[in-house]
Amino acid sequence: MFVLFLCNLSLAPAAASKNKVKGSQGQFPLTQNVTVVEGGTAILTCRVDQNDNTSLQWSNPAQQTLYFDDKKALRDNRIELVRASWHELSISVSDVSLSDEGQYTCSLFTMPVKTSKAYLTVLGVPEKPQISGFSSPVMEGDLMQLTCKTSGSKPAADIRWFKNDKEIKDVKYLKEEDANRKTFTVSSTLDFRVDRSDDGVAVICRVDHESLNATPQVAMQVLEIHYTPSVKIIPSTPFPQEGQPLILTCESKGKPLPEPVLWTKDGGELPDPDRMVVSGRELNILFLNKTDNGTYRCEATNTIGQSSAEYVLIVHDVPNTLLSTTIIPSLTTATVTTTVAITTSPTTSATTSSARDPNALAGQNGPDHALIGGIVAVVVFVTLCSIFLLGRYLARHKGTYLTNEAKGAEDAPDADTAIINAEGSQVNAEEKKEYFI
């Protein structure tokens, strides 16, 4: 009955169009290929720009009629009429499966019948990927092999690997056809050697496919790496000084977390427990002195292994405070009493002051010898100049005195008279003495 019904529907328009063969030569059905994701809805549309009331029909890849004009021919609840007119016949197929894929035909019942093909492509959605091959924990230096797999994609999906959002290119890729011979199973393998920097890192497998609408599916594996401790000693001050406190911090990292650290000095126990107090990972030394000099060692241990670090302590002296110094040389005065009284003016005192920037004292252990040497040189120079000038002055006036004394002997007739005249001159000179204060 169903086949007969289709035949009757097909013959009626054919008979009605016998007288319109000439006018139907310019009529052609127009269709378009359709791509839909598995489980989605496909819309098949057939249009005719010029139609003289000729019927349109849609049929599936098995050549079963789906719709003849607005009349449903195949009992399939997934197939519905969208629009039916002399110029268009559109139908919808919901909940599309992979078996619906194929070539659909739109027929225009002219003389002869004209057809147009539309290919329906169904995309197979890949399943959520799974990562295998990880066993926790992994020891530092071990070779790790991770495999990411996804099935049901059509066409075959693409798999990409990322570590901390950085893509890894050197991977293996394998594609296999599924049992239905329509979809594919895709797998990818990542090999790498782990180190401590990989601890806590997220390794991501990402599946890209056109059916996912730019929203890829991902699987993530967070790595747990066990490694031996790493140790570093950090002093509280870079320049420890005598009398000051010092704190040494033992910074240790490892997985599992290292046990409480062990402090030693010069290969033995701490010599002064009263001043050297261990608090957690810190060594507190109160009031440093020279006996604290030596090599301090911090050891950290976990279930994987042991590591240590050393710190050489050198206690420095507290720098002296250099004050401003003023040096005043003694005054030099010379007075000579002869026929002429001589008085020298006091020489100008030489004063040297050294004012130093307090910041310049940092890191020094004594006075500035260059400054003191300069001051001594100035004093010696001033003293020598004074002695030279005094000697020159005395030599000059000594000659004058002798000349005046000789004048009394020139006019004497004999030696006795000359002596008497000279003595008289001295007496007169004594009477002519002038005193200057």
Per-residue pLDDT of 100-136, as tens digits, reads: 999 999 999 988 999 999 999 999 999 999 999 998 8
Residue 336 has pLDDT above 50, yes or no: no
Residues in the chain, how many? 437
| Kind and range of the H or E run holding 228 | strand 225-235
Distance CA 18, CA 21 (A): 6
CA-to-CA dists, residue 226 to 25, 135, 144, 162, angstroms: 81, 12, 13, 22
What region does 121 belong to: left with phi over 0, alpha with psi -120 to 50, or beta?
Answer: beta
Mean pLDDT of the region 323-328: 42
pLDDT of residue 26: 61
Distance CA 215, CA 226 (A): 35
The Cα angle at residue 258 between residues 252 and 261, in degrees rounded to 5: 70
**Angle (deg, nearest 10), helices 369-410 and 415-431:** 130
| Percentage of the chain exceeding pLDDT 70 | 74
In the chain, what are the domains?
29-123 (2.60.40.10), 130-223 (2.60.40.10), 228-313 (2.60.40.10)
Residue 359 has pLDDT above 80, yes or no: no
Is residue 153 very low, low, confident or very high in pLDDT (cuts 50, 70, 90)?
Answer: very high
Alpha-carbon 392 to chain mean position: 79
Complete DSSP assignment for 19-56: GGTTGGGG--EE---EEEETTS-EEEEEEESS-SS--E
Within 8 A by CB and 6+ apart from 161, the residues are: 148, 167, 168, 171, 188, 190, 203, 204, 205, 206
User: Which of 308, 253, 258, 261 shows the shortest CA–CA distance to 283?
Assistant: 261
Q: What's the chain's average pLDDT?
A: 79
The reply to whether omega before 155 is within 30° of 0 (cis) is yes
Higher pLDDT, 396 or 372: 372
In the three-class reduction of DSSP (H, G, I as helix; E, B as strand; rest coil), residue 109 is classed as coil
Distance CA 239, CA 253 (A): 26
Highest mean pLDDT among 4-13, 19-28, 210-219, 242-251: 242-251
pLDDT of residue 95: 96
Distance CA 125, CA 151 (A): 9
The Cα angle at residue 294 between residues 289 and 295, in degrees rounded to 5: 140
